[in-house]
Amino acid sequence: MLKMARDGIVPDVQGAIGPMKQIEEMRGQGFPIAYVGDVVGTGSSRKSATNSVLWFFGDDVPYVPNKRAGGFCFGSKIAPIFYNTMEDAGALPIEFDVSNINMGDVIDVYPYAGKVCKHDSDEVITTFEMKTPVLLDEVRAGGRIPLIIGRGLTSKARAELGLPEFDLFKTPDQPAESTKGYTLAQKMVGKACGVAGVRPGTYCEPKMTTVV
């Protein structure tokens, strides 16, 4: 990773080993290190791409060897599938203009305020909006999949106890209601989710059972 020299990047061995020493020096400052780029994740749709990034910038997972989670990934544009796999890993991927951020800069990111400032300063470098309102819940849960499982277990447990739906979890934004019918494909997906149909942009969770 990053084995070819470029502005701000000094690989240990040109074309063979990335900037391991440089990363360790930055880690010595005591701040988390973010992976930042103009266009990030293109051609890297496999989970191994996320694993490779988080191996150097993520956090150890307790009792799980050879795997890391969490971490920060910022880019002017993050490829959609790479973005999703970062979500699954519990990372915080955010799209914002990175043109004024350079290698080695120390920045403060305010997820709720939607702004990035120079460290210990009120000087705003750029602003942003979260792609989805559930992103921070995913980070807290350690990933999108643990959040989905935990949210589902909570819902089933409350239903079994006769309690109302829990509103603690954020819910994804859904497209506006429409009076148009559904295509066959939309009906097929809808049937798997227990609804009449699913339109483009709709968040849905297919109902699954396990056969032992």
pLDDT digits (tens, 9 = 90+) for 162-191: 999 888 888 888 888 888 899 999 999 999
Beta carbons within 8 Å of 96's beta carbon, 6+ residues apart: 74, 76, 116, 126, 127, 128
pLDDT value for 212: 60
> Given pLDDT bands bounded at 50, 70 and 90, which one contains residue 44?
low
Distance CA 3, CA 1 (A): 5
Mean pLDDT of the chain: 90
Q: pLDDT tens, 88-126?
A: 999 999 999 999 999 889 999 999 999 999 999 999 999
C-alpha–C-alpha distance, residues 44 and 47, integer Å: 8
What confidence score (pLDDT) does residue 48 get?
A: 86
Q: Name the percent of the chain lying above pLDDT 90.
A: 61
Architecture of the domain whose range is 31-144: Alpha-Beta Barrel (3.20)
| Predicted local distance difference test score (pLDDT) of residue 165 | 85
pLDDT digits (tens, 9 = 90+) for 12-37: 999 999 899 999 999 888 999 999 99
Would you list the domain boundaries of the chain?
A: 31-144, 174-212
pLDDT the model gives residue 90: 93
CB 8 within 8 A of CB 103: yes
